[in-house]
Chain A
C-alpha cells in the first residue's frame, strides 16, 4: 500500500461514520454538522482522484453556503423529536427487511466483479501542470452547453417559484410601502370628531332612564 491508500482508507472511514451519524444523531443540529463533515471528507476523496476543482466547489458551495443555510433553518425550527420518532418500531420490521434486501442485491452487483480494477483500469495520472478547471470549462461551454443552459433555467424557475409562493398577496406579510409612508398626510392619521361634551350621570338617573 502506498501513502495515498492510507489517506483514502482514513477518509473513507470518517465518511462512513459521519454518514451513519447523520441519520442516527438525536439532535438535528448535530446531524447537520455530521453532514458537513461527510461533505468535507468526500471532497478529500475527490482530491485524491485529481478532481481538485470539484473538491473545492463541494467545500465552497455545500459546506460554505448550503449547509450554513441549512443549519440556520434547523436551529430556527422547533422540531418535536418524539413526534418524528413516532411509529419507528412498528415500521422497522418491514422497512428493515426491504432495506436489507436492497442492500444485499446492490452489494452483489456493485462489488469488484463488475466495477473492480480488472474491468476499469485506473486512469494514468496527469502531469503536474494539467489544468482540471480549464478542461471542465471547455466541456461545459461546448459539449455540455445545452444542459448547462437548462440548469440556468431550472435555477430561474426556483427563484420565480419561491417568490410566487412566499412574497405576493400574502395576507400575513408585514411589508410596508415606503413611498406610501412618506406621502401620508396628517388627515390620514388623525380624525377630528366633533361630539358633545360628556356629562357625568349619577347612578340614580341612569336607573330612572332605564
Chain B
C-alpha cells in the first residue's frame, strides 16, 4: 500500500473538480442572478485547472493508488483531457440555450462538474467497486439534468425512462461483477486479469458473469438490442443535456469497456468477441436503417449514435492493441462530430423555438452560408466521406477488424455505411437546395460562433492530418495495456 501522499497526488484532478463543484454550490447561494455568468466562468476555470493538474502530474507509466483501486495511466490522462475539453465546449454551446429556458442556475453547473468527476473516476477505476461508484455518480447527475426543465412533461418522461432503464443496467452490471467475484475471488481488475491468466476455472460462472457485464455495458453505450432508451431520452431531454449525454459521457463508457473487457477479462476475449459481433452488426443495421425514417433531427442523431456504437464495437472486438487504439480514435472523433452536430441545433434554437426538426434546416445556405458549410463538414464527417475525420475513424476500426480476420463483417459494415450516408447527405440537400421556411437572421454569441467554427473545422483539419491524434491514442493504449 502506498502512502497517503501518493494517493492524493494521483487523484488530485478528481479532488480539485469535486472541491470546485462544492465551491460553486456555495457561491451560487450568495450571487445575484444578474451576475450568474461568474458561475459559468468558475466552471470553465475548474476544467482548465483540472487540465493543468492532469498535464503536470502526467507520467508515461502506470501508477496504482488507494490500495490498487485507482490507476493513473496514460490512457486515463488522455481521456480525462478529452473530457475537460469536450465539457468546456458543451458549456459554451449551452449557455445561451439554458439561460433562455430558465435553467441557467448554479445547480446545472455543479451537476455537470459532479458528472465530470464521476467520469474521471470511471476512467481511472481499477476495481469493480470504484468503477461502479463512478458510474453511479455520473448516472445520478444525468438523471437530474434530464429532468432539470421541470415544467416540461416530455423531459420528465425521458428522465423517468432513463432512470428506470439505467438502474436496470447498473443492476445487471453489478450482478455480473458479483459472479466474477465468485469465480475469481477478487474485485480488483488487475487481480482478476492475473488470476484468469493462471488458468480459467469455473468457466460457466465466468461466462454467466460476462453475459451480464456485456449486457450492462451495451445498455450504457446504447448498442442493439439494448438501445430502446436512446431515441426517447435524446428527444425528450433539453437539447443542452442531450449534447452532454450524447458526447462526453461516451468517452467514459469507452473507458469502462476497456477496463472491464480488455484489462479484466482479456483471457475471455474469444467469448465476448462473439457477443460484440452480434451487437455491432445489429447496431449498424438498425441504427442506419431506422435513422432514414426520422423527421426529428434529435431522433436521427440518436439512431446515428447507435450505428456509431456499432462501428466502435468493431474496433473493440478486434481484441488487439491496434483495435483498442482505433476504437479510442473512433470515440474521440465521434464526440467531436456530435458536439458540432448538436451545437448547430443549439445555435439555431431561439427562445420558445427548438430547431430540432429536419425542416428547420431548410435553406440554411441562403440564411447563413458559413453555418451551412460547417454543418456540411459535420455531416460529411458523420457519413465518413474523405477527407474528414469520420472517414479515418471508420477506416481505422475497419482496418483493425480486417487484421483480426473478419473480412465479411468489414464488407458488410462498409455497405451499411453507404446506406447510412443517405440520411446525412439528405441534410446537405435540405440545407443547400430547399427554400427556407423561416428567413429570420441567425443571432448568436461571439464565443459560440468561434468555438463552433473551430470545432467543425477541426473535423476537416484532423481528417487531413489524422496522424497526431492516432499517435496519441496508440501511445495511451500501448502504455496502459501492456
User: Cβ of A150 and Cβ of B107 under 8 Å apart?
Assistant: no
User: Cβ of A114 and Cβ of B67 under 8 Å apart?
Assistant: no
Given contacts A161-B107, A169-B105, 9 further A-B contacts (CB under 8 A): A115-B205, A143-B67, A146-B11, A150-B121, A160-B107, A161-B140, A164-B105, A164-B111, A165-B147
Count chain B residues whose beta carbon lies closer than 8 angstroms to a beta carbon of A. Answer: 38
User: Cβ of B121 and Cβ of A115 under 8 Å apart?
Assistant: no
User: Cβ of A150 and Cβ of B150 under 8 Å apart?
Assistant: no
User: Cβ of B130 and Cβ of A146 under 8 Å apart?
Assistant: yes
Counting CB contacts under 8 A, is A7 at the interface?
Answer: no
Q: Which of B20-49 contact A (CB under 8 A)?
A: 22, 25
User: Cβ of A147 and Cβ of B129 under 8 Å apart?
Assistant: yes
Provide the bound-state CA to CA distance between A160 and B204, in Å: 43
Provide the bound-state CA to CA distance between A154 and B118, in Å: 9
Binds A, one of B75-83, B131-139, B231-239, B413-421: B131-139
Residues A147 and B69 in contact in the complex (CB < 8 Å), given A109-B204, A154-B133, A168-B105: yes
Counting CB contacts under 8 A, is A1 at the interface?
Answer: no
From the candidates A146, A153, A164, A170, name the one contacting B137 in the complex (CB within 8 A).
Answer: A153
From the candidates A109, A115, A144, A164, name the one contacting B129 in the complex (CB within 8 A).
Answer: A144
Provide the bound-state CA to CA distance between A177 and B60, in Å: 57
Main secondary structure on B side of the interface with A: helix
Measured CB to CB, the closest approach of chain A to B479, in angstroms, equals 23
From the candidates B69, B102, B150, name the one contacting A146 in the complex (CB within 8 A).
Answer: B69
A106, A114, A168 interface centre (most CB from chain B within 10 Å): A114
User: Cβ of B204 and Cβ of A114 under 8 Å apart?
Assistant: yes
From the candidates B111, B151, B208, name the one contacting A106 in the complex (CB within 8 A).
Answer: B208
Q: Which residues of chain B come closer than 8 Å to A109, judged between CB atoms?
A: 204-205, 208
Count chain A residues whose beta carbon lies closer than 8 angstroms to a beta carbon of B. Answer: 29
Measured CB to CB, the closest approach of chain A to B152, in angstroms, equals 12
Of the A-B pairs whose beta carbons lie under 8 Å apart in the complex, a sample of 25, sorted by A's number, is A105-B208, A114-B204, A114-B205, A115-B205, A142-B67, A143-B69, A144-B69, A146-B11, A146-B70, A147-B133, A150-B130, A150-B137, A154-B133, A154-B137, A157-B137, A157-B144, A158-B140, A160-B25, A160-B111, A161-B143, A164-B105, A164-B111, A164-B148, A165-B150, A168-B107
User: Cβ of A146 and Cβ of B111 under 8 Å apart?
Assistant: no
Q: Which residues of chain B come closer than 8 Å to A151, judged between CB atoms?
A: 133
Provide the bound-state CA to CA distance between A109 and B176, in Å: 13
Contact indicator per residue, chain B 289-333, by CB within 8 Å of chain A (1) or not (0): 000000000000000000000000000000000000000000000
Contact indicator per residue, chain A 134-173, by CB within 8 Å of chain B (1) or not (0): 0000000011111100110110111011011100111100
From the candidates A108, A143, A153, name the one contacting B114 in the complex (CB within 8 A).
Answer: A153
Q: Which of B168-221 contact A (CB under 8 A)?
A: 182-183, 202, 204-205, 208
Q: What residues of chain B have their CB less than 8 Å away from a CB belonging to chain A?
A: 1, 11, 18, 22, 25, 66-67, 69-70, 102, 105, 107, 110-111, 114, 117, 121, 127, 129-130, 133-134, 136-137, 140-141, 143-144, 147-148, 150-151, 182-183, 202, 204-205, 208
Contact indicator per residue, chain A 109-145, by CB within 8 Å of chain B (1) or not (0): 1000011000100000000000000000000001111
User: Cβ of A114 and Cβ of B151 under 8 Å apart?
Assistant: no
User: Cβ of A164 and Cβ of B130 under 8 Å apart?
Assistant: no
Provide the bound-state CA to CA distance between A145 and B183, in Å: 25
Measured CB to CB, the closest approach of chain B to A172, in angstroms, equals 10
In order of increasing CB-CB distance, the 10 nearest A-B pairs are A161-B144, A164-B107, A150-B133, A146-B66, A143-B67, A147-B129, A114-B205, A109-B208, A109-B204, A157-B140
Provide the bound-state CA to CA distance between A199 and B240, in Å: 62
Q: In the complex, what residue of chain B is closest to A163 when comparing beta carbons? A: B107
User: Cβ of B148 and Cβ of A165 under 8 Å apart?
Assistant: yes
Q: In the complex, what residue of chain A is closest to B150 when comparing beta carbons? A: A165
Contact indicator per residue, chain A 72-113, by CB within 8 Å of chain B (1) or not (0): 000000000000000000000000000000000110110000
Q: Which residues of chain A come closer than 8 Å to B11, judged between CB atoms?
A: 146
Q: Which of A12-67 contact B (CB under 8 A)?
A: none
Q: Which residues of chain A come closer than 8 Å to B18, judged between CB atoms?
A: 153
Q: Which residues of chain B come closer than 8 Å to A158, judged between CB atoms?
A: 140
Measured CB to CB, the closest approach of chain A to B275, in angstroms, equals 15
